[in-house]
Homo-oligomer: A and B are copies of this chain.
Amino acid sequence: MSDSTELFAPHNHSLCINTALTTASQLCAERGVQLTAIRQQVLELIWADHHAVKAYDLLERIKPLQSAAKPATIYRALDFLREQGFIHRVESLNAFVGCNDLKSAHEQLLLICKRCENVEERHADSVMQALAQELALAGFTAHHQAIEIHGICATCTQSNNTPSLN
């Protein structure tokens, strides 16, 4: 039903959400850190779909649940979720997206569709290997990478009338 070229074709998105939340919960327990209500709610809101979400949008969406929420509320939760590797920041959008591989540390390639706004995370080993060689050649020691590609995804290219919704 879903091969690597159509990650965002119709799929059982509750599975995405459940996996993300369950795994995050397990990892927090293992690590002795707290997945508090606020943090979990923010993570859930981020996983509402596969879009990148902006901090102030999260703030609006969490207010029904946390009436005292202020910008710091959101940014603290985002900081925590990033430190734990549960989400990625999309630098070129000032926005945040759920990580789809919580089990392994990784650098990621983000494919950002301008049409449906879905963000697909790929590990793209061949790219990362070429990059590692290039960095070695340059004598550069990498600490953090942001590789973000904006364009049109496969699903939108195929059906260029109705944007996919998940």
Which A residues have a C-beta under 8 Å from some C-beta of B?
A: 4-6, 91-92, 109, 111, 113-114, 120, 122, 124, 126-127, 129-131, 133-135, 137-154, 157-158
Query: A143's contact among B114, B126, B157, by CB below 8 Å, is which?
Result: B114
Whether A152 contacts B143 by the Cβ 8 Å rule is yes
Query: Residues of B contacting A124 with CB < 8 Å?
Result: 130-131, 134
> Whole-angstrom distance between the alpha carbons of A106 and B38 in the complex?
43
Tell me the minimal C-beta distance from A91 to chain B in angstroms: 4
Tell me the minimal C-beta distance from A29 to chain B in angstroms: 31
Whether B114 contacts A146 by the Cβ 8 Å rule is no
CB-CB nearest 5 A-B residue pairs: A139-B154, A91-B92, A130-B130, A142-B151, A143-B151
Copies, count: 2
Candidate in A109, A138, A139, A140 with the most chain B CB atoms within 10 angstroms = A140
Q: A129-B130, A134-B109, A134-B126 are in contact. Are A150 and B139 (CB under 8 A)?
A: no
Query: Residues of B contacting A91 with CB < 8 Å?
Result: 91-92, 146, 148
> Whole-angstrom distance between the alpha carbons of A4 and B108 in the complex?
26
Find the B residue at minimum CB distance from A109: B134
Tell me the minimal C-beta distance from A150 to chain B in angstroms: 5
Q: A145-B149, A146-B146 are in contact. Are A154 and B138 (CB under 8 A)?
A: yes
